Homo-oligomer: A and B are copies of this chain.
Amino acid sequence: MPLSSSHLTVASPKPAASCADCAVKPLALYGARGIDFSAEISKVRRECRRVAARRMILRAGEAPQDVYTVLEGWAYRFLLLPDGRRQILGYYLPGNIISLEALHMARMHMSVQALTDMMLCVFDAERFKAFVKDHPAVAAEAERACIQRTILTDNRLMDLGRRTALEKVARLVLDTYARLAHRGRVDGQTFSWPLRHEHIADTLGLTPVHVSRTFRALRQQGLLEIHGQEVTILDAAAMLLTAGLPDDYLSADGRHRHLFGKSIEPA
């Protein structure tokens, strides 16, 4: 079976006719947690844009013109040093908002690039800002999204500063699994994995060579399996142990409960 026909990989989604039917609405700022401003946001929406893998979406230093919601595909945000060193800061999955910082910052401090082919819902930054300003519930969701991202980044700091290569890689795999599972995008223990070793290395402060060796260790111990662009977790318990994560991390809301607190309701 060719990879492109797998339901785990990026297909060619038909954009919803209106935001009310949007597949990622429950994950977005304007449709999460019981609120629903899909009618209003429909008017702010500019277009539905297809972006090819490897295309730059935002460049550090530029003033962002647009705000995006990811409908399909993966992107990543990163910083670059003059000598070419790169640090990947995080990944955007369907439902995530790109360029939240446009709400307050005149210029981007980081760059964003498409990892896979993507489908983006595009909003005009100015009109999106006005929309958020007029809807305090949405503004609150934006701040919540910012704080949640902070929590993810704080955990990544712990990864980079104080964890071994094996722990880091195991955590990245499990964290990705949990994020995809939350979106209904895993098939049993198997899920899409479009990251090349270079991305993983630049995310975790390693080299591609060492990422290769680390995956070999996980494979040889029977913890996981990689075929093409898909990963299968063979021994979840051992993976969790290796990653130093709690037993319930992969359960329905285990990751959310673990990272963001016991309650997923507003504090």
Residues of A participating in the B interface, judged by any CB pair closer than 8 Å = 63, 79, 81-82, 85-87, 89, 100-110, 133, 136, 139-140, 142-144, 146-147, 149-151, 153-158, 160-163, 202-205, 244, 259-263, 265-267
Q: Which residue of B lies closest to A143 (CB)?
A: B143
Choose among A100, A136, A140 the residue with the greatest number of B CB atoms under 10 Å from its CB: A140
Given the contacts A89-B154, A146-B146, A154-B89, A81 and B263 also touching, CB distance less than 8 Å:
no
- Docked Cα-Cα span, A17 to B142, in Å, equals 35
Chain B residues whose C-beta falls within 8 Å of the C-beta of A89 in the assembled complex: 154, 157
Majority DSSP secondary structure for residues of A touching B: helix
Given the interface pairs A143-B104, A143-B143, A260-B109, the reply to whether A157 lies near B157 with Cβ below 8 Å is yes
Partner of A267, one of B105, B150, B162: B105
Q: B153, A154: Cβ atoms under 8 Å?
A: yes
Q: Which of B82, B105, B160, B265 contacts A260 (CB 8 A)?
A: B105
Give A139's nearest chain B residue, CB to CB. B139
The 10 closest A-B CB pairs, nearest first, are A161-B205, A107-B261, A160-B160, A106-B267, A87-B158, A106-B263, A146-B146, A85-B162, A106-B261, A104-B144
A154 vs chain B, min Cβ distance (A): 5
Which residues of B lie under 8 Å from residue A204 when comparing CB positions? 161
Closest to A100 in B: B147
